[in-house]
Structure 1
């Protein structure tokens, strides 16, 4: 038996067998597995770079979420200072600040390592003032 006979005879038998397995209702997909392995081998460098980019993107997202929380904290504290100095506010301004408080508290609950000891009393005071203004309809028009 020559090499040509082995390759053409055995190769075509293997080709037919793999094709039948691929088409059978049993979930054995040899062609898909071969193609997937071949694709991974060719694209391994690209896949590695994509993984690194995903990791860096997650770091950027985390940084942006923390920056958003810090901005909320800043607005909460500024609003609280304005209230302490007797400045009046519109209902819309209160509503926005209450949304900031909710977002900030949600971030703090999800990130216990984040420093959160400066807004709790200010948030309570803002909520108290809001309730009082809501009861008496005493918002700045």
Structure 2
């Protein structure tokens, strides 16, 4: 048999041999190397078939991320607005105390709730400007302590 005949025969046998090996590898698991070409082929076919759906899904995920970012910004803005309202109530109450207006114990309990909410938010959000009511809070606490001792609520 000549070299030319051998090459011709190899050309005919090799494609069938590789094809058989490919088919058998789908059923045989090698001990150390787990080869499953069928899953790769099926995955590739699935991506080809579902390319439009996958592209739309990517677009939806991008829009969802943008919407989440906007929502987070709105929630932050709303929380800060609420804290601004708490701070305004604290400052207003302190101004009333300075002007000599008397308050009930319930008024003080309500403003103490505002102070607690405001201080918790400030502790949890160091980026929020929280030094605008420090003296007012100290004054309200001082007056409240005095009124608790004397019973001088309205």
TM over 0.5: yes
Residue 101 of structure 1 and its aligned partner are, at CA, apart by: 1.0
Gaps of 5+ in 1: 1-5, 18-29
Distance 1:77 1:119 in 2: 7
Number of equivalences: 119
Distance 1:49 1:113 in 2: 28
**Structural mapping, 1:94-113, within 5 Å:** 94-113=108-127
Residue equivalent to 1:134: 148
Larger Rg: 2
Residue equivalent to 2:4: none
Residue equivalent to 1:123: 137
Gaps of 5+ in 2: 1-18, 29-38
Deviation sequence 1:42-63 (CA, Å, 0-9, x none): 3221111111111111101100
From 71, 77, 83, the equivalent of 1:69 is 83
Over the aligned positions, Cα root-mean-square deviation in angstroms equals: 3.3
Using structure 2 for the length normalisation, give the TM-score: 0.63
Residue 137 of structure 1 and its aligned partner are, at CA, apart by: 2.0
Deviation sequence 1:24-78 (CA, Å, 0-9, x none): xxxxxx7xxx6xx968953221111111111111101100111111111100000
